[in-house]
Chain A
């Protein structure tokens, strides 16, 4: 399985609970990463285009806002599946790392 990039993971995560438009995704990613990941628009649309081509996301709707149309994106079934797999992998990796570092909350790590 091709590894998912950090940016793709954050963008998919931002769409996990609701469809979002471009800037909405930027804000959500910043919030999810506790301000550590600040997507630039060029980077964001590179990721969005790739995810759309891989059928992990798709356009949801368009809404007018300040005289412009905001295009919303949502996860596809394959996108939801890929995100769940990646989240599981990252959670498992985190547990293993915590266990190796002797940090609390590492129960069940192999």
Chain B
């Protein structure tokens, strides 16, 4: 830089106002653009500009303004908030997918009970697609099942975000009505913390968090998510249905237990990727952050729903074991989740050979 023209030296001095992390990413580009913008296109005039031209105060002011904004925002704030936004969006997609799997299961069991699948044997009585008793008619529960599937597909397609949110918001109303009716008529035999926890954590939270989907956010990779819906139904809902049909309902965990188990399995499957050196600076950290968010929610749901089993010490022990497994699985990926702010690429890096 010592041999650089005077104008360049002075401009670089002004750029020292910027935070170091920002200068490392953008300084060379800014200098090149500034020097080009200071030329007039007249060869005679331009010859003297690098040495004798004054540094325009408007350029100095624009750099000072940028520096102020960057210092107020803090280093990497954009990347950090982007990583959090991505993690929340993926967590919402995962929760919507679980709701959609439940919906798909409800609809298919109903179709089976109505003999829509003629080649299947008659549905065992234990598999009747029971809908909660109360003020909400069965037809509404089936519509809710449809609604979650439509909402999830709309999110996964990477468009119609507000439509997905409105549909999901309408879909959680019957659950709320059922809960309120149960409270007012004292239909719940014990504490009703578990059902309320389900409504708040698995119904309301995803609906509110769908606000994180905006038109300008990168759309989800649609086919993996749509495929995940089918695979999750096949690998989770079908075996659970088989347990019930074969007379082993005790093998089927409650919703909180299932949520804990699925999150723990996802964490364990992701852990090898999170621990490799390759993961640092890749998208792995955002997935770790996503799974950590889901783990915290699953853990909170498990703890709150323990009140459903206050008179069943064996079930409490099983639930605590599920919680312990979840905590251990999440602990494996938390260090990678902490790196999430570096995982979302923001500023392009200077390339080798770039003039210094």
Contacts and interface: CB of A to CB of B under 8 A. Distances in A.
Contacts of B32: 21-23, 65, 68-71
A82 B30 CA distance: 25
A88 to B, nearest CB: 11
A36 B28 CA distance: 27
B216 A41 contact: no
A55 B61 CA distance: 27
B346 A52 contact: yes
Interface in B59-84: 59, 61-66, 69, 78-79, 82
Nearest to A78: B218
Contacts of A31: none
Interface string B41-72: 00000000000000000110111111001000
Given A22-B33, A52-B347, A71-B29, A42 B215 contact: no
Interface string A4-42: 100000000000000001110010000000000000111
A69 B346 contact: no
B42 to A, nearest CB: 16
A50 B355 contact: no
Interface residues of A, number: 37
- Which interface class (under 10, 10 to 19, 20 to 34, 35 or more) fits B? 35 or more
Interface centre among B31, B79, B216, B354 (most CB of A within 10 A): B216
Nearest to B216: A82
Contacts of A2: 214, 216
Given A1-B215, A67-B355, A49 B26 contact: yes
Contacts of A44: 33
Interface string A42-53: 111110111011
A44 B26 CA distance: 11
Nearest to B31: A68
A100 interface: no
Nearest to A47: B66
A29 to B, nearest CB: 11
Contact of A55 (B26, B66, B218): B218
A68 B355 contact: yes
B36 to A, nearest CB: 4
Contacts of B59: 40-42
Contacts of B29: 22, 45, 71
B219 interface: yes
B123 interface: no
B30 A71 contact: no
A90 interface: no
A49 B22 CA distance: 9
B347 to A, nearest CB: 6
A76 B345 CA distance: 13
A54 B65 contact: no
Contacts of B36: 22-23
Contacts of B353: 69
Interface in A54-101: 54-56, 58-59, 62, 65, 67-71, 76-78, 81-82, 85
B64 A42 contact: yes
B82 A82 contact: no
A45 B355 contact: no
Contacts of B351: 62, 69
Interface string B173-202: 000000000000000000000000000000
Contacts of A67: 355
Nearest to A43: B62
A26 B61 CA distance: 17
A44 B36 CA distance: 14
B156 to A, nearest CB: 16
28 contacts: A2-B214, A23-B32, A23-B33, A40-B62, A42-B59, A42-B61, A42-B62, A42-B63, A43-B62, A44-B33, A45-B33, A46-B69, A50-B78, A53-B346, A53-B347, A54-B78, A54-B82, A54-B217, A58-B348, A62-B351, A65-B32, A68-B31, A68-B32, A69-B353, A70-B32, A76-B218, A77-B219, A78-B216
Interface of B: 22, 25-26, 28-37, 58-59, 61-66, 69, 78-79, 82, 214-219, 344-348, 351, 353-355
Interface of A: 1-2, 4, 21-23, 26, 40-46, 48-50, 52-56, 58-59, 62, 65, 67-71, 76-78, 81-82, 85
